[in-house]
């Protein structure tokens, strides 16, 4: 507005002009204040939802901890947290573009890339359990559906049990020993290791052949022979510490949201590695989460319970802490012990024992039949959701989206 226009203004109009400026300034301050309170409410809601979800997960009975069903709920929890996190990053784009948040968001997405490898290895582990399921079904077919149990049926079941025992061996002192055994299940010597970030690989292959462990489908492994689940978890958790006070202030509290999401990512991947067979499993990951965070109490409680389970004498040499794996091991052990003392024809007492064990075998087979496919779908969904979230997030802060 030209200066001459002011000279023509009446004295009465000047106070009105001043009041207009004051009103405008007050509206701007009010708007900024509303944005701040909105962000605060969003973050409080995020933390409360995480607290509620992990409280529900930690209320699981001891017998169902690390079951197929519980692992599925854990992955559902992660997907919900991931969705809320993506929404916060989207709505707070201006804040995310500024230091220190730009670095923190980028750091989270780089950690999440490492989780993609874990997802690939876990899907291989699920395929491994399917092979054990097939052997268990042979035992069930041989002994569980016969009017009378003869020596031939017992011999067939015994062979499947031997194959199962060999397949479930896990030399925890040897890095990648499980991977080498896995490959012996049907990978041809000429095939090359490959790393499949697209996660759409097909586990089956036309080149199946017979080995000492039985007739297994050839598998396409998605991690290299030298890959280590333990090292990958350490990389995801590396330098993961609660945000400093100045970072919290500079980010309007959003630094805490990033720390929470990083901690959840680490815990979920750690729990998957604890439960499912994968190469060079190792659970010695340090969680630097203060107990005074409301959301952390249930998460740390679950961490302690899973660690305690891993230290039990009967679980120390297990290839996975999944409840159903423990049931497979138990049924296999009972049947092997029984077969050492059996004579034909079977006495009524021995036949009753066999049928009782077969009931347990049947229950395990049903649990695997019902639970493995949904679990694999959820692991795949976690993989794709991480990829999508990372692409969106890096696009929003103007970073290249290719994986390092």
Cα(118)–Cα(94) distance, integer angstroms: 32
Q: What is the structure's pLDDT at 12?
A: 45
Burial of 1 (0-12, 13-18, 19+ CB in 10 A): exposed
Give how far Cα 95 sits from Cα of 33, 38, 75, 135, 224, Å.
15, 13, 29, 55, 39
Strand partners, 214: 211
By CB neighbour count within 10 A (0-12 exposed, 13-18 middle, 19+ buried), where does 393 fall? buried
Q: Can you state the angle between helices 13-58 and 296-311, rounded to 10 degrees?
A: 20
For the chain, which ranges sit under pLDDT 70?
Answer: 1-37, 170-221, 396-404
CA–CA distance, 201 with 197 (Å, rounded to integer)? 9
pLDDT value at position 176? 41
Give the three-state DSSP class for 345: coil
pTM of the model: 0.80
Alpha-carbon span 197 to 208, nearest angstrom: 25
133-167 pLDDT tens trace: 999 999 999 998 777 888 999 999 999 999 999 98
CB-CB contact of 280 with 273 (8 Å): no
Q: Where are the domains of the chain?
A: 66-396
Q: What angle do CA 260, 388, 100 make, to 5 degrees?
A: 45
Residue 401 pLDDT: 53
As given in the structure block, the two tokens for residue 139 are 């035992």
pLDDT per residue as tens digits for the range 231-256: 999 999 999 999 999 999 999 999 99
- 87 token code pair: 């929404």
Rounded Cα distance, 369 and 321, in Å: 18
> Which pLDDT score, from 0 to 100, does residue 399 have?
60
DSSP 149: -
pLDDT at 195: 41
Q: Which residues pair with 3 in a beta bridge?
A: none
Q: Which two tokens stand for residue 358?
A: 């077969």
- Cα of 208 vs its chain's centroid, Å: 30
**pLDDT for the residue 162:** 93
Tokens for 323, please give them.
Answer: 């409840």
pLDDT attached to residue 93: 86
CB 86, CB 389: distance < 8 Å: yes
DSSP assignment letter at 216: E
| Residues 6+ away with beta carbon under 8 Å from 295 | 47, 50, 51, 54, 260
Backbone dihedral angles phi then psi of residue 210, each to the nearest 5 degrees = -85, 135
d(CA 68, CA 379): 12
């Amino acid at each position: 507005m030209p200066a001459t226009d002011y000279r023509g203004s009446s004295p009465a109009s000047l106070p009105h002009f001043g009041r207009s400026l004051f009103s405008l300034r007050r509206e701007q301050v009010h708007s900024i204040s509303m944005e701040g309170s909105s962000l605060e409410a969003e973050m409080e809601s995020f933390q409360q939802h995480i607290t509620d979800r992990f409280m529900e997960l930690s209320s699981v009975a001891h017998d169902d901890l690390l079951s197929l069903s519980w692992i599925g709920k854990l992955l559902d929890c992660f997907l919900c947290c991931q969705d809320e996190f993506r929404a916060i990053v989207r709505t707070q784009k201006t804040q995310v573009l500024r230091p220190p948040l730009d670095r923190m968001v980028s750091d989270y997405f780089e950690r999440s890339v490492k989780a993609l490898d874990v997802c690939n290895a876990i899907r291989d582990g699920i395929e491994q359990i399917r092979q054990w399921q097939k052997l268990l079904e042979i035992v069930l077919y041989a002994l569980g559906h016969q009017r009378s149990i003869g020596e031939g049926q017992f011999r067939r079941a015994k062979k499947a049990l031997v194959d199962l025992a060999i397949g479930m061996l896990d030399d925890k002192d040897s890095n990648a020993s499980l991977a080498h055994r896995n490959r012996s299940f049907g990978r041809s010597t000429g095939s090359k290791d490959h790393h499949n970030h697209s996660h759409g690989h097909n586990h089956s292959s036309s080149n199946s052949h017979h080995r000492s462990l039985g007739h297994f489908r050839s598998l396409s492994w998605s991690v290299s022979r030298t890959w280590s689940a333990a090292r990958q978890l350490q990389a995801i958790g590396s330098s993961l510490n609660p945000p400093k006070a100045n970072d919290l202030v500079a980010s309007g509290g959003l630094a805490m949201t990033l720390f929470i999401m990083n901690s959840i990512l680490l815990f979920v991947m750690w729990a998957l590695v604890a439960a499912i067979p994968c190469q060079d499993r190792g659970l010695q990951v340090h969680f630097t989460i203060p107990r005074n965070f409301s959301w952390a109490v249930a998460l740390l409680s679950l961490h302690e319970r899973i660690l305690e389970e891993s230290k039990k004498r009967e679980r120390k040499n297990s290839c996975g802490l999944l409840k159903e794996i423990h049931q497979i091991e138990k049924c296999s052990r009972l049947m092997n012990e029984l077969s050492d003392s059996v004579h034909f024809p079977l006495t009524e007492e021995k036949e009753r024992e066999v049928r009782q064990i077969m009931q347990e075998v049947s229950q395990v087979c049903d649990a695997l039949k019902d639970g493995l496919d949904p679990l694999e779908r959820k692991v795949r969904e976690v993989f794709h959701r991480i990829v999508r979230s990372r692409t969106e997030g890096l696009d929003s802060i103007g970073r290249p989206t290719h994986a390092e």
